[in-house]
């Protein structure tokens, strides 16, 4: 069995190939430069040019997040308006979250304090339909309160133009009396 001696050219070729293979993960991990790479937005990406005869590696495309496919990734705003002279108003954000789920973030402002249970209903604010999903209650303390809920209802279902976010009095003579409501917009 004979021992093979590599020529200087073969050694340089192997070092070049090794350098290219080592630099590729760093280039990919750093996002390839682009916006925000350096101050002033300058592109600081160095081109990786394989040595002659070196193998080239093409990264596989990243799969799309199937949970978000076809769904709005930006939150949709819902303006909440007072009902029954409650003095409570606010804003709600709805957005896709996970596989077939919707995240609902609510901020309410109003007079006094109290805990208000909420729901996503079918229908309109003038004519509430059945409850589609319960939401975390909002407790007003010093006139402001927030809650975040994740419901097992796809975003496309609640954003069909036929659903509302509604919060109830929670106490008093009629605890289920609506105090604030907002129509969830339909997707365009």
- In the block, which residue shows the tokens 């309109």? 124
Q: Across the chain, how many H-helices and E-strands are there?
A: 2, 8
Whether the Cβ atoms of residue 104 and residue 135 lie closer than 8 Å to each other: yes
User: Is residue 184's pLDDT more than 60?
Assistant: yes
User: Is residue 152's pLDDT more than 80?
Assistant: yes
Task: For 36-185, list the strands marked E by DSSP.
Answer: 76-82, 89-96, 102-109, 114-123, 128-140, 144-151, 163-168, 178-184
User: Is residue 183's pLDDT more than 60?
Assistant: yes
CA distance 92 to 15: 58
pLDDT tens digit string along 13-31? Answer: 555 454 444 444 433 334 4
pLDDT tens digit string along 90-103? Answer: 999 999 998 899 99
pLDDT tens digit string along 26-80? Answer: 333 344 443 333 334 333 333 334 444 444 333 333 333 333 344 446 789 999 9
Q: Which of 165, 148, 43 is nearest to 103 (CA)?
A: 148
Q: Which domains does the chain have, with CATH numbers?
A: 1-62 (no CATH), 76-184 (2.60.40.200)
4 pLDDT tier (thresholds 50, 70, 90): low
The tokens of 135 are what? 């939401």
CA distance 107 to 112: 15
171 pLDDT tier (thresholds 50, 70, 90): confident
Whether the Cβ atoms of residue 129 and residue 178 lie closer than 8 Å to each other: no
The reported pLDDT for the residue numbered 22 is 43
pLDDT tens digit string along 119-151? Answer: 999 999 999 999 999 999 999 988 999 999 999
CA distance 165 to 94: 10
1 pLDDT tier (thresholds 50, 70, 90): low
């Amino acid at each position: 069995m004979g021992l093979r001696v590599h020529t200087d050219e073969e050694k340089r070729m192997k070092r070049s190939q090794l350098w290219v293979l080592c630099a590729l993960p760093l280039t990919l991990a750093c996002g390839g430069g682009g916006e925000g790479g350096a101050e002033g937005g300058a592109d600081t990406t160095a081109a990786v040019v394989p040595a002659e005869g070196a193998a080239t590696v093409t990264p596989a495309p990243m799969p799309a997040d199937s949970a978000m496919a076809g769904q709005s990734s930006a939150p949709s705003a819902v303006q909440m308006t007072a009902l029954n002279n409650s003095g409570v108003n606010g804003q709600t954000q709805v957005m896709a979250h996970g596989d077939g789920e919707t995240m609902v973030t609510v901020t309410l402002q109003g007079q006094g304090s109290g805990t208000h249970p909420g729901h996503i209903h079918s229908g309109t604010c003038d004519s509430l339909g059945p409850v589609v999903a319960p939401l975390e209650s909002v407790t007003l303390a010093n006139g402001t309160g927030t809650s975040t809920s994740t419901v097992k209802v796809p975003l496309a279902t609640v954003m069909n133009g036929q659903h509302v976010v509604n919060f109830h009095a929670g106490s008093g003579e009629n605890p289920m009396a609506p105090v604030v409501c907002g129509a969830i917009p339909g997707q365009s």
